[in-house]
Structure 1
Amino acid sequence: MAEEPKVPEVWIGSRRYATKKARQQAVQAVLGRYSLGQVVDQEDDDLLLRDLLDMHPDAADKVGPGVDHFRIIPTPRGHHKGPEAVLVDGAKVAFSYMKCLDAPTHRQRMLAAMRTEIQPQVNTYYESRKASHTLVSDESGQPLAPADVHVSYFRGPRFHDIAMELVQAAGGFDSIELTAETARGLALFTDRTLAERWHAHHQEHAVLGLLSAKENLRRPHV
């Protein structure tokens, strides 16, 4: 019996879609629920737009100090609705949701791989806090339920800035090769010596902390 062809999985954050069209329709459904100028006030819609913006090729610049909320605005030609991020410093940043849905650039694939490479460090930090009975927000001091815990870089340099230091030292994004990606889009460094350098660099410079999901919403995720 012939094997069924594998269909690549399509995602926005942790949301899985059967096709690229279904993913696009999910974004359009969010935009369609609001009038022009209206704030996106439904939590699920807000979370989807945050994950969507993280997929933008210029996400680090777009997100800046962090997103406070989203508004719906007319697209440049005025014929359709589009999202606008209102940042915590009051700046307003419009972005194309279609650009977010484009195939990831090598730069984006690299940054995603770098997160995958250091995920064990993040997991170890969480487990150490859990074992020491200190699952509390490092911002508010409030106790956190395990399902509400987010490990954040809010107390030190952004993940993006730590990653860029290693990338620049290695000769730039084009100098680093990745393994083939899984259907979920995960890849690793082919050069395991460089991977170890990255692990050590992240371990030295990352200042991790815990936040609640709600507190973490306002923080940049890139």
Structure 2
Amino acid sequence: MVSIPVVLDNFAWPTRSAAEAAFRSILRNSGYAVGDVITDPVHHQMLLEVLDRHPDHLEKIGPGVEEFFVARTRDASGVFVGANAIGIWIRRTDGDEIDFSYRTAIHQPSPRSDAKEALRTEVDDRRQAFREHRFGTGETVLSDLSGVPTGDVRDAQVIYLAPTWGQLTYRFAELEGGWTRLAVAPAFAGVAAVGSRLEDRDQATRWLAFHAQYADLGLASASEAARRTQADELGWAISSDN
């Protein structure tokens, strides 16, 4: 059976079970009690990114996420589980609270999240080449977020500065007619492989050209990348000046 990876903007796991274990650890092994806000910035970022993958992410996010917190699952409307069952909830910027299943996000991805994973796979060679070039100059590699030396290539993560990855992929999908117009196929037909690719290879060519024109890559440590504030994907638009 071929393992199915879970790839988010700043985090990745080789299998769905590994991703589920990472989020279960936040809930069960990180010291949060019922009612506690999830304060660790890495945990918060992980939850934002897996929420972005949820098939009902627009309904869950509403006007925006204020914070995540731990609550009893039985408090969710229409949910019947054990009295001691707990889960991760969202407190939105409008004050509303809504339950959130990271398992659903992991196991039932949306066309949007599938497409973003395929777009990432298509440009992975470029990202790796960028990192290798930065470390191959013999000069001290500085984080493009903090200016702090990033000495370990294994800890250096390729990031998107402006536009962000979310903004870049949103605008490309918009040009193509929406997320559902980006059909996805296994990375290598007939071979067990990590990730996926765009099924339409002409579309893949357009994506590579779009990426080459607009992507602004940088480097940061994994912890810095995870702590970045999530930018509005509508916050960047293509203009004649880009």
Q: Normalized against structure 2, the TM-score is what? A: 0.66
Shift of 1:112: 0.7
Q: Which runs of 5+ in 2 are unaligned?
A: 77-82, 234-242
Q: Kindly provide the amino acid, as one letter, of the partner of residue 126 in structure 2.
A: Q
Three-state SS of the structure 2 residue aligned to 1:143 is: coil
Shift of 1:137: 0.9
Residues 102-160 of structure 1, C-alpha deviation per residue, up to 9 Å, x if partnerless? 3222222111101111112211211221122242111221111212211112x301212
Residues 50-83 of structure 1, C-alpha deviation per residue, up to 9 Å, x if partnerless? 6644533466995x99x99853234472654222
Residue 125 of structure 2 aligns with which residue?
120
Contact 1:9/1:183 (<8 A) preserved? no
The yes-or-no answer on 1:198 pairing with 2:207 is yes
Residues 178-198 of structure 1, C-alpha deviation per residue, up to 9 Å, x if partnerless? 224675662212222221110
Residue 175 of structure 1 aligns with which residue?
181
The yes-or-no answer on 1:141 pairing with 2:147 is yes
> Structure 2 matches for 1:59-208, cutoff 5 A?
62=61, 71-75=69-73, 77=75, 80-84=85-89, 95-132=100-137, 133-144=139-150, 145-153=152-160, 155-180=161-186, 186-208=195-217
Three-state SS of the structure 1 residue aligned to 2:172 is: helix
Residue 31 of structure 1 aligns with which residue?
27
Residue 3 of structure 1 aligns with which residue?
none
Q: Kindly provide the amino acid, as one letter, of the partner of residue 107 in structure 2.
A: D
Three-state SS of the structure 2 residue aligned to 1:201 is: helix
Q: Which runs of 5+ in 1 are unaligned?
A: 1-5
Q: Kindly provide the amino acid, as one letter, of the partner of residue 214 in structure 2.
A: H
Contact 2:69/2:90 (<8 A) preserved? yes
Contact 2:4/2:14 (<8 A) preserved? yes
Percent of residue pairs bearing the same amino acid type = 27
**Residues of 2 paired with 1:93 and 1:215: CA distance?**
29
Q: Normalized against structure 1, the TM-score is what? A: 0.71
Contact 1:84/1:92 (<8 A) preserved? no
Residue 237 of structure 2 aligns with which residue?
none
Three-state SS of the structure 2 residue aligned to 1:38 is: coil
**Residues of 2 paired with 1:85 and 1:77: CA distance?**
13
Three-state SS of the structure 1 residue aligned to 2:141 is: coil
